[in-house]
Amino acid sequence: MSLPDYKSTGKQSTAPVQSKSQVVQLNIGGHVFSTTLGTIRKFPNSTLADLFNGSSKLRMDSEGRYFIDRNGSHFGLILEYLRSEKVPSEHLQEVHKEALYYDIKPLAKAIEDMPQIFGETVGRQQFLARVPNYRENLEVIVKVARAEAIASRYSKIIVCVLRTEDDLARYNDAIDSLDTPKESVVRFGPWKAPASVEDLLDCIRMDIEAKGYKVKIEPHNIDKVFLFKSYNFFYKLTFTWW
Protein backbone atom coordinates (compact mmCIF):
# COMPACT_ATOMS: atom_id res chain seq x y z
CA MET A 1 0.00 0.00 0.00
CA SER A 2 1.40 3.38 -0.92
CA LEU A 3 1.86 6.33 1.38
CA PRO A 4 -1.22 8.53 1.91
CA ASP A 5 -1.50 11.21 -0.75
CA TYR A 6 -3.00 13.94 1.41
CA LYS A 7 -0.82 16.86 2.47
CA SER A 8 -2.55 18.26 5.49
CA THR A 9 -0.15 19.21 8.28
CA GLY A 10 -0.64 17.33 11.51
CA LYS A 11 -2.79 14.51 10.15
CA GLN A 12 -2.20 11.05 11.51
CA SER A 13 -2.10 7.85 9.52
CA THR A 14 -3.17 4.38 10.52
CA ALA A 15 -2.79 3.04 6.99
CA PRO A 16 -1.02 -0.33 7.18
CA VAL A 17 2.34 -0.65 5.49
CA GLN A 18 3.08 -4.24 4.50
CA SER A 19 5.75 -4.79 1.85
CA LYS A 20 9.36 -4.80 3.05
CA SER A 21 10.42 -3.16 -0.20
CA GLN A 22 7.95 -0.32 0.22
CA VAL A 23 9.72 3.04 0.17
CA VAL A 24 9.14 5.10 3.30
CA GLN A 25 9.67 8.83 3.49
CA LEU A 26 10.66 10.09 6.94
CA ASN A 27 10.83 13.53 8.47
CA ILE A 28 12.86 13.30 11.67
CA GLY A 29 12.72 16.71 13.31
CA GLY A 30 13.08 18.46 9.94
CA HIS A 31 15.68 16.07 8.48
CA VAL A 32 14.27 14.11 5.54
CA PHE A 33 15.21 10.49 4.83
CA SER A 34 14.14 7.82 2.34
CA THR A 35 14.41 4.15 3.17
CA THR A 36 12.43 0.94 2.94
CA LEU A 37 10.04 -0.64 5.38
CA GLY A 38 12.36 -3.63 5.58
CA THR A 39 15.21 -1.39 6.78
CA ILE A 40 13.01 0.26 9.39
CA ARG A 41 11.93 -3.17 10.64
CA LYS A 42 15.44 -4.64 10.66
CA PHE A 43 15.08 -5.34 14.39
CA PRO A 44 11.44 -6.28 14.91
CA ASN A 45 11.47 -5.77 18.67
CA SER A 46 12.76 -2.20 18.48
CA THR A 47 10.63 0.85 19.18
CA LEU A 48 11.43 2.10 15.68
CA ALA A 49 10.00 -1.06 14.12
CA ASP A 50 6.93 -0.83 16.35
CA LEU A 51 6.16 2.61 14.94
CA PHE A 52 5.64 0.97 11.53
CA ASN A 53 3.79 -2.18 12.59
CA GLY A 54 0.48 -0.93 11.23
CA SER A 55 -1.13 -0.20 14.58
CA SER A 56 0.76 2.93 15.61
CA LYS A 57 -0.58 6.35 14.72
CA LEU A 58 2.21 8.26 13.03
CA ARG A 59 1.85 11.96 12.33
CA MET A 60 2.36 13.10 8.74
CA ASP A 61 4.00 16.32 7.66
CA SER A 62 2.63 18.63 4.94
CA GLU A 63 4.39 16.59 2.23
CA GLY A 64 2.94 13.28 3.35
CA ARG A 65 6.11 12.05 5.05
CA TYR A 66 6.04 10.19 8.34
CA PHE A 67 7.03 12.63 11.05
CA ILE A 68 8.92 11.77 14.25
CA ASP A 69 9.44 14.69 16.61
CA ARG A 70 13.06 13.88 17.38
CA ASN A 71 16.42 15.47 16.60
CA GLY A 72 17.33 13.93 13.27
CA SER A 73 20.90 15.22 13.01
CA HIS A 74 22.36 11.74 13.42
CA PHE A 75 19.50 9.58 12.21
CA GLY A 76 21.42 8.95 8.99
CA LEU A 77 23.97 6.97 11.02
CA ILE A 78 21.12 4.97 12.54
CA LEU A 79 19.84 4.17 9.05
CA GLU A 80 23.32 3.21 7.87
CA TYR A 81 23.55 0.69 10.68
CA LEU A 82 20.10 -0.71 9.85
CA ARG A 83 21.15 -1.10 6.21
CA SER A 84 24.62 -2.53 6.64
CA GLU A 85 25.18 -3.08 10.38
CA LYS A 86 28.11 -0.69 10.11
CA VAL A 87 28.80 0.82 13.52
CA PRO A 88 29.52 4.58 13.27
CA SER A 89 32.96 5.87 14.15
CA GLU A 90 31.91 9.43 15.01
CA HIS A 91 29.24 11.17 17.07
CA LEU A 92 29.16 8.08 19.27
CA GLN A 93 27.52 9.69 22.29
CA GLU A 94 24.72 11.18 20.19
CA VAL A 95 24.12 8.01 18.17
CA HIS A 96 24.13 5.92 21.34
CA LYS A 97 21.46 8.18 22.79
CA GLU A 98 19.30 7.74 19.68
CA ALA A 99 19.88 3.98 19.62
CA LEU A 100 18.58 3.81 23.18
CA TYR A 101 15.57 5.96 22.30
CA TYR A 102 14.63 3.77 19.33
CA ASP A 103 15.52 0.67 21.34
CA ILE A 104 17.94 -0.67 18.74
CA LYS A 105 19.73 -2.90 21.21
CA PRO A 106 22.46 -4.35 18.95
CA LEU A 107 23.62 -0.87 17.93
CA ALA A 108 23.52 0.44 21.50
CA LYS A 109 25.54 -2.58 22.68
CA ALA A 110 28.07 -2.25 19.85
CA ILE A 111 28.68 1.40 20.72
CA GLU A 112 28.94 0.63 24.44
CA ASP A 113 31.67 -1.90 23.66
CA MET A 114 33.77 0.63 21.75
CA PRO A 115 36.81 1.87 23.73
CA GLN A 116 35.70 5.51 23.83
CA ILE A 117 32.28 4.73 25.27
CA PHE A 118 33.41 1.78 27.38
CA GLY A 119 36.02 3.94 29.09
CA GLU A 120 33.50 6.71 29.68
CA THR A 121 30.62 4.60 30.97
CA VAL A 122 32.40 1.76 32.73
CA GLY A 123 35.46 3.67 33.88
CA ARG A 124 34.94 7.40 34.34
CA GLN A 125 31.22 7.51 35.08
CA GLN A 126 31.43 4.57 37.48
CA PHE A 127 34.21 6.39 39.31
CA LEU A 128 32.29 9.67 39.45
CA ALA A 129 29.26 7.85 40.83
CA ARG A 130 31.42 7.08 43.87
CA VAL A 131 32.36 10.73 44.45
CA PRO A 132 29.68 12.24 46.71
CA ASN A 133 27.81 15.23 45.24
CA TYR A 134 30.05 15.41 42.19
CA ARG A 135 27.44 16.83 39.80
CA GLU A 136 26.03 19.18 42.41
CA ASN A 137 29.52 20.50 43.15
CA LEU A 138 30.12 21.22 39.47
CA GLU A 139 26.92 23.28 39.38
CA VAL A 140 28.07 25.24 42.44
CA ILE A 141 31.48 25.91 40.88
CA VAL A 142 29.96 27.23 37.66
CA LYS A 143 27.37 29.31 39.52
CA VAL A 144 30.01 30.96 41.73
CA ALA A 145 32.34 31.53 38.78
CA ARG A 146 29.61 33.28 36.83
CA ALA A 147 28.72 35.43 39.83
CA GLU A 148 32.34 36.57 40.08
CA ALA A 149 32.68 37.34 36.36
CA ILE A 150 31.20 40.84 36.55
CA ALA A 151 33.72 43.33 35.10
CA SER A 152 36.45 40.73 35.45
CA ARG A 153 38.49 38.65 33.03
CA TYR A 154 38.95 35.78 35.49
CA SER A 155 36.98 33.96 38.16
CA LYS A 156 38.93 31.93 40.70
CA ILE A 157 37.35 29.14 42.75
CA ILE A 158 39.07 27.13 45.49
CA VAL A 159 38.24 23.44 45.72
CA CYS A 160 39.28 20.97 48.37
CA VAL A 161 39.92 17.37 47.32
CA LEU A 162 39.90 14.74 50.06
CA ARG A 163 40.97 11.37 48.73
CA THR A 164 40.60 9.26 51.88
CA GLU A 165 38.83 9.18 55.23
CA ASP A 166 42.16 10.12 56.84
CA ASP A 167 42.21 13.25 54.69
CA LEU A 168 38.71 14.05 55.87
CA ALA A 169 39.83 13.75 59.49
CA ARG A 170 42.47 16.43 58.85
CA TYR A 171 40.13 18.65 56.87
CA ASN A 172 39.29 21.16 59.62
CA ASP A 173 42.92 21.87 60.45
CA ALA A 174 43.76 22.20 56.78
CA ILE A 175 40.96 24.58 55.89
CA ASP A 176 41.82 26.80 58.86
CA SER A 177 45.08 27.50 57.07
CA LEU A 178 43.23 29.22 54.24
CA ASP A 179 42.53 32.92 54.03
CA THR A 180 39.46 32.04 51.97
CA PRO A 181 36.18 31.69 53.91
CA LYS A 182 35.22 28.06 54.46
CA GLU A 183 31.82 28.62 52.91
CA SER A 184 33.36 29.51 49.54
CA VAL A 185 35.44 26.32 49.25
CA VAL A 186 33.87 23.49 47.23
CA ARG A 187 34.79 20.11 48.70
CA PHE A 188 35.08 16.81 46.84
CA GLY A 189 35.48 13.37 48.40
CA PRO A 190 36.43 11.15 49.96
CA TRP A 191 35.64 8.27 47.59
CA LYS A 192 36.13 4.52 47.41
CA ALA A 193 37.69 3.80 44.03
CA PRO A 194 41.26 3.37 42.73
CA ALA A 195 41.17 6.68 40.86
CA SER A 196 43.56 9.34 42.11
CA VAL A 197 43.22 13.03 42.96
CA GLU A 198 44.68 13.84 39.55
CA ASP A 199 42.00 11.67 37.93
CA LEU A 200 39.28 13.61 39.73
CA LEU A 201 40.78 16.96 38.76
CA ASP A 202 40.88 15.82 35.13
CA CYS A 203 37.20 14.90 35.35
CA ILE A 204 36.32 18.29 36.82
CA ARG A 205 38.18 20.08 34.04
CA MET A 206 36.69 17.87 31.30
CA ASP A 207 33.12 18.28 32.52
CA ILE A 208 33.38 22.04 32.99
CA GLU A 209 34.97 22.48 29.57
CA ALA A 210 32.21 20.31 28.08
CA LYS A 211 29.81 23.03 29.23
CA GLY A 212 31.72 25.52 27.07
CA TYR A 213 33.93 27.16 29.72
CA LYS A 214 37.68 27.67 29.62
CA VAL A 215 39.20 26.59 32.91
CA LYS A 216 42.65 25.91 34.34
CA ILE A 217 43.35 23.90 37.49
CA GLU A 218 46.50 24.26 39.57
CA PRO A 219 47.57 23.67 43.17
CA HIS A 220 46.58 26.47 45.53
CA ASN A 221 49.50 27.74 47.56
CA ILE A 222 48.82 28.91 51.10
CA ASP A 223 50.83 31.15 53.38
CA LYS A 224 50.93 28.57 56.13
CA VAL A 225 52.29 25.82 53.94
CA PHE A 226 55.26 25.33 56.27
CA LEU A 227 52.77 24.29 58.95
CA PHE A 228 50.55 22.20 56.72
CA LYS A 229 52.85 21.00 53.96
CA SER A 230 51.27 17.54 54.09
CA TYR A 231 47.82 19.02 53.47
CA ASN A 232 47.90 19.18 49.70
CA PHE A 233 44.13 19.35 49.50
CA PHE A 234 43.50 22.68 47.81
CA TYR A 235 43.36 23.58 44.13
CA LYS A 236 42.51 26.76 42.28
CA LEU A 237 40.16 26.71 39.32
CA THR A 238 40.59 29.74 37.08
CA PHE A 239 37.85 30.56 34.57
CA THR A 240 38.90 32.82 31.70
CA TRP A 241 36.06 34.84 30.22
CA TRP A 242 37.80 36.88 27.54
**Got the DSSP string for 82-147?**
HHH-PPPSSSHHHHHHHHHHTT-HHHHHHHHTSHHHHIIIIIIHHHHTTSTTHHHHHHHHHHHHHH
Residues 6+ apart with CB under 8 A from 117: 92, 93, 96, 111
Residues 6+ apart with CB under 8 A from 174: 160, 228, 231, 233, 234
Q: What band does 7 get if pLDDT is binned at 50, 70 and 90?
A: very low
Residues 6+ apart with CB under 8 A from 48: 40, 78, 102, 103, 104
Residue ranges of domains in the chain: 12-113, 134-240
* pLDDT at site 99: 97
More confident residue, 11 or 78: 78
Please determine, for residue 158, whether its predicted confidence score (pLDDT) is greater than 50: yes
* Cα gap 130→134, rounded to integer Å: 9
Please determine, for residue 19, whether its predicted confidence score (pLDDT) is greater than 60: yes
Please determine, for residue 229, whether its predicted confidence score (pLDDT) is greater than 60: no
* Cα gap 14→57, rounded to integer Å: 5
- Please state the rounded mean pLDDT for residues 175-196: 89
* Residue % of the chain over a pLDDT of 90: 75
Architecture per CATH, 12-113: 2-Layer Sandwich (3.30)
88, 68 contact by CB (below 8 A):
no
CA-to-CA separations, 222 to 57, 158, 174, 196, 205, in angstroms, rounded: 65, 11, 10, 22, 22
Q: What band does 55 get if pLDDT is binned at 50, 70 and 90?
A: low
* pLDDT at site 223: 57
- Weakest-pLDDT range from 52-66, 105-119, 123-137, 216-230: 216-230
Q: What band does 224 get if pLDDT is binned at 50, 70 and 90?
A: low
